[in-house]
Structure formats: structure tokens, C-alpha cells
Amino acid sequence: MEEKIFFTAGDVVTLRQNLPMKPTMIVKSVDKVQAQGEKPMLFGITCFWFTTELEYQEKRFNTKDLLHTEK
């Protein structure tokens, strides 16, 4: 059985994929949606980071795409 991993705002994460230049990111929010009369469902994890040129970047990811980094 696969262990569940939870993310909260402020967590430091990176991409699971093995890319040569993957950013270190900070979780901005855990986004959920709720249909009327239903319980909330996870929509995605919004993260932000800065490029090497100090440009602000932000994107929503699936939890399966992210890993916590060492603290």
C-alpha cells in the first residue's frame, strides 16, 4: 500500500521527475474544490519559486509530481 504524503503551505518541495534544472519551490496553497453538498476534493498544490534571474514563477501541480526536500 502506498504511503500518503501531505503538503501544507510553507513546505519546501521539488519536482519528482529527474530534470537537470528542477527548481526548489515553496508550497503557497493546497487548493480544493467543493461541489454543492459534497465534501471538498483536492484540486492541486500551488507552488512558487524564483528563477536564476529572480523572476517570480507560480504553478499548480499534482501531488504525484512533488517531493518534500530535506529540511
Residue 5: the pLDDT is 77
Give the position of cell 521539488: 14
- Reported pTM: 0.83
In the chain, where are the structural domains located? 24-49
Residue 29 to residues 1, 20, 35, 46, Cα–Cα distance (Å): 27, 26, 19, 5
Residue 1: the pLDDT is 57
Residue ranges of the chain whose pLDDT lies below 50: none
Residue 54: the pLDDT is 95
Give the position of cell 517570480: 56
